[in-house]
Amino acid sequence: MKRVLMIAYYFPPIGGVGVIRPVKFAKYLRAYGWDPIVLTVHEIAYPLRDPDLLLEVYDVPIFRTESLDPPRILWKLGRRPRFTSRARQWSLLGSNFFLFPDSKVPWLPFAVRRGRDIARRLRPDALYSVSPPFTSHLIAWLLHRRFRIPWVADFTDPWPTGHRTPTPFHRLLYRRLRSAIVRRCTVPVKVYEGLPLGPRAVWIEHGYDPDEFAGPPRSSRFSPDELHVVYTGSLVDREEGFRLFLKALRQVPRVRLWFAGPSAETLERWAEEEGVRDRVQTLGFRPHHEIPDLLKAGDVLLFVSPYETSTLKLYEYLGAGRPILLMAPPGSDAIQLTRRYPEILRPVTRLDDIVSALRDLWFQRGRPLVPPPDLTWPAQAQRLATLLNTL
């Protein structure tokens, strides 16, 4: 068995979509000849927590280091932030203006020192770093220079702070840094086909875990006389799309929206303003292991995104085998997926489109769809293992 040192700032016990990719690779790489070793940070003040994810990698060595970045300091001070738009704005402000390339850069000296110890003792055959934050790539870059270990740099978002476009000044600096990382790493990996990483980049998409979607749904909270639409995830930057969907609810009877995610009170306020509060059920943030059952229990899945790049959530939707209402910008990666899976994904852009789709889907309830077999996490881990074998 060969060894790969995985450098990931975001890792359980914190939750959210940002931790899923490294967790699933750590879970499945061993089946394809690679033993994962994880280098991450100690507990941080993060609004989403999902310690059950650690059960998926219980046999993977995880090395945690100290740090002086703001979330780590807040944790040591006993602060536990809530997932609010204001807190997110302050976090992005600190990332974009005060620390470069991101607010996690104070983690770098601690992680590099521990990474050197790991490299000397365990002698990994490859390095794998995942962003955001870009600081993870900088740590891998220094270890790559010191030990000449082949390095795969995995970019899951365009910028160190995620999807949101930074200021023009910082955008120029980020582009130069991203280009430098792409040149220096052995192989760059992009999650989305449209990420501008040059001709050397290898495309390895997100996926869904077939273990999580095996068997019938266990949920019994859904009544049989309604069409149940399920949405999981964040509401950030999605008010316009959600208000359009809530307006459609007024025109289609016996349709209920189920929401699982942070900031549920925000959606409740929007529903109240649109006059459909009694048709919206909020569940709050749920641990990741509960999401697949919720998706399978729904009749329709709602995907709302303002970004040009897709998100991991859409791939988990595909694994549920349910029709998906897709609200995304024209030409985005999510819209591109409709060409590959037109029987599952249904783009909607206008109020009339949503109303028509909901009425059509009412008569298609219970019809099973086949999840794409090429988008499972074992398949994506095999692609990463094949890439590591070529280094």
pLDDT at 12: 96
pLDDT at 289: 86
The tokens 């840094």 sit on which residue? 177
pLDDT at 388: 97
What is d(CA 235, CA 287) in angstroms, rounded to the nearest whole number? Answer: 17
Question: 2-207+376-390: CATH homologous superfamily?
Answer: Glycogen Phosphorylase B; (3.40.50.2000)
Tokens describing residue 31: 């089946």
How many Cβ atoms from other residues are within 10 Å of residue 195's Cβ?
Answer: 20
The CATH architecture to which 227-371 belongs is 3-Layer(aba) Sandwich (3.40)
First to last CA, the chain: 15
Detail the DSSP E strand segments found in the chain: 2-7, 34-41, 62-65, 126-131, 151-155, 187-190, 202-203, 227-232, 255-260, 280-282, 300-304, 324-327, 345-347
| Run means of pLDDT, 10 residues per run, the chain, 391 residues | 97 92 97 98 91 94 95 87 57 64 93 98 98 95 97 90 76 92 96 88 94 78 86 89 94 93 90 94 88 91 87 91 92 88 92 94 82 94 97 90
User: Could you tell me the residue ranges of all domains in the chain?
Assistant: 2-207+376-390, 227-371
What is d(CA 312, CA 284) in angstroms, rounded to the nearest whole number? Answer: 19
How far is it between the farthest Cα atoms of the chain? 65
pLDDT at 110: 98
